[in-house]
Amino acid sequence: MKIKLLGRSGLAVSELCLGTMSFGNTTNESDSIRMIHQFMERGGNFLDTANVYVSGRSEEIVGEAIKGFRSEVVLATKVRMVTADHPNGAGVSRKHIIQSVEESLRRLQTDFIDLYQVHVWDHLTPIEETLRALDDLVTSGKVRYIGCSNFFAWQLMKSLACSDANRYVRFISIQPQYSLVSREMDREMMSLCLEENVGVIPWAPLGGGFLTGRYSKEEPTSGRLSSKVGESSWALRGTELNFAILDAVQAAARELDKTPAQIALAWLLQRKGITSPIFGASNLEQFADNMGAIGWTMPTEIWNRLDEISALPSEYPNRFIAKFARSY
């Protein structure tokens, strides 16, 4: 597996990141630990979890799995969501961050977290307070690097500017939703990340399972896409455009003798600015399928075909810039 540096840091991570949101839920503990070990045997070192995944059970399983080779793993987790039923049981205030990091360290059975990520922007807490608290955690050695997730471009840029102005540690990465069927990041965030050298580690690279080709045009009654709410709801996934994208993915899979999941992941692996797509698996069969995305290169013609059909429509100000802006 290829190794990349995460953003403007010296942190070396594998080109795929193993997501653990299903560990302790749809993926039992035994299979979860086997996935982590097989992932590392294939050269993977990057694991992503969060303190709210399965109410902390995901962190506990990850902690069990990496005992004995903690130094070989780049371990990422998150803070922000509700963890307790009281006014300070959510957000990224200094109080909630300090409380949450201690709880994550205990569940993960480690004394440091490699990448500590703000799960979502907190409108109630000044970003200066959040970044100062995170900077203190890095200084103390409990956290090595910091990142964010699900931010707007202005929120990321405000955070970077605040860090620079106050000499706090910077976010080295962002974890957004990004895939062939979810390219909203292309509007502003991708260009910002390229400009500021912020690593991009996309979640839902298979569109919540849509890009595996398991679903017909009939609304599903089971599985993640049967949800009526959230990013993987059928209302968002089962559109005519998304099915046209899926048709192109399946055609590429037939042409290259790959699976649709492998095609969707490989497209991301070869996209400029992407560091490590985060893939998850409910079982070992899905895990093996996803791992088939590495070790080969998609022909440029096919990559371009997928890029074209999934691209956002031309929008202002890009239309204006393309027509009138000149480089001297």
**Nearest C-alpha neighbor of 148 from the set 100, 115, 191:** 115
On the CB side of 171, how many CA atoms lie within 13 Å of its CA? 32
- Selected from 3.30.70.1400, 1.10.3720.10, 3.40.50.970, 3.20.20.100, the CATH number assigned to the domain covering 3-210+272-296 reads 3.20.20.100
Rounded Cα gap, residues 325 and 309, in angstroms: 26
Give the CA distances from residue 246 to residues 225, 227, 241, 267, in Å, rounded to whole numbers and listed in that order: 15, 20, 9, 13
**Nearest C-alpha neighbor of 311 from the set 216, 231, 244:** 244
Domain ranges of the chain: 3-210+272-296
Rounded Cα gap, residues 183 and 193, in angstroms: 14
307's tokens: 């890029």
Quickly tell me which residue has 């995170």 as its tokens: 134
pLDDT at 149: 98
Say whether the peptide bond before residue 277 is cis (omega within 30 degrees of 0): no
Full-model pTM: 0.95
pLDDT digit of tens for each residue in the chain (328 aa)? 999 999 999 999 999 999 999 999 999 999 999 999 999 999 999 999 999 999 999 999 999 999 999 999 999 999 999 999 999 999 999 999 999 999 999 999 999 999 999 999 999 999 999 999 999 999 999 999 999 999 999 999 999 999 999 999 999 999 999 999 999 999 999 999 999 999 999 999 999 999 999 888 888 777 778 777 788 888 899 999 999 999 999 999 999 999 999 999 999 999 999 999 999 999 999 999 999 999 999 999 999 999 999 999 999 998 898 888 766 5
pLDDT at 327: 64
DSSP per position, 234-293: HHHHS-HHHHHHHHHHHHHHHHHT--HHHHHHHHHHTSTTB---EE--SSHHHHHHHHTT
pLDDT at 196: 98
Residue 276: CB partners within 8 Å, gap ≥ 6?
Answer: 4, 6, 13, 14, 15, 16, 17, 46, 199, 201
Choose, from 53, 116, 168, 215, the residue flagged as catalytic.
Answer: 53
Active site residue 53: yes
Identity of the amino acid at 297: T
